[in-house]
Chains A and B, each alone.
Chain A
């Protein structure tokens, strides 16, 4: 470990804490769009945390995983939103 490991891993742990806070909203959200918003927030926090962990371990491949995760979570959000819209029309 280099001396910069702690600088990046402590904010990563804090982001994990905020993910758990968003998970509370995902569990007790009264409607379906509330849950989607909570999931979208968790996805953004996961991408930020992956970038921080990649900088902490100095591994470029973790950043690549973060790029792919950002694009795939966007596709997932769009898909669920499209599904909700189609459900409302019936």
Chain B
């Protein structure tokens, strides 16, 4: 039963990580690349970590070894660190890219620049 959940979580995680790195290659400018790569790889990493958490909880139920409890707990801490730091880093990159003068390709309006002119 939990093995099926494990396979589903791992499949979703690997698929979205694949989409993130393919989107990094396919999109035209830095903002769309950031959009694809950050969102998709964060989502995929959440699901691979959830697979590890499900695995260690089930092994802990099965054999009662406290090693698996520690494994689950540390994986949860790593997951929280990843979820908090990843969008913040993406925000910093996008802000730095806009401040260093890179415009989006085929941009119709740039409201951030117009707001700064006032």
Contacts and interface: CB of A to CB of B under 8 A. Distances in A.
Interface of A: 4, 7-8, 11, 14-15, 18-19, 21-22, 24-25, 31-34, 36-38, 40-41, 44-45, 47-48, 51-52, 54-55, 58, 60, 63-64, 66-67, 70-71, 74, 77-78, 80-82, 84-85, 87-89
Contact of A48 (B37, B44, B77, B81): B44
Contacts of B88: 74, 78
Given A41-B37, A55-B52, A78-B89, A85 B99 contact: yes
A82 B92 CA distance: 8
A48 B99 contact: no
Contacts of B74: 60, 63-64, 67
A15 B68 CA distance: 24
B78 A74 contact: no
A80 B95 CA distance: 12
9 contacts: A11-B10, A31-B30, A40-B90, A41-B37, A45-B17, A48-B45, A55-B56, A78-B92, A81-B93
Interface in B51-94: 52, 55-56, 67-68, 70-71, 74-75, 77-78, 81-82, 85-86, 88-90, 92-93
Interface residues of B, number: 50
Interface of B: 6-7, 10, 13-14, 17-18, 20-22, 24-25, 30, 33-34, 37-38, 41-42, 44-45, 48-49, 52, 55-56, 67-68, 70-71, 74-75, 77-78, 81-82, 85-86, 88-90, 92-93, 95-97, 99-102
Contacts of B25: 21, 24-25
A67 B74 CA distance: 8
A81 B14 contact: no
B33 A34 contact: yes
Contacts of A41: 20-21, 24, 37-38, 41
State the 6 A-B residue pairs at the shortest beta-carbon distance, nearest first: A74-B85, A33-B97, A81-B92, A81-B96, A48-B45, A88-B100
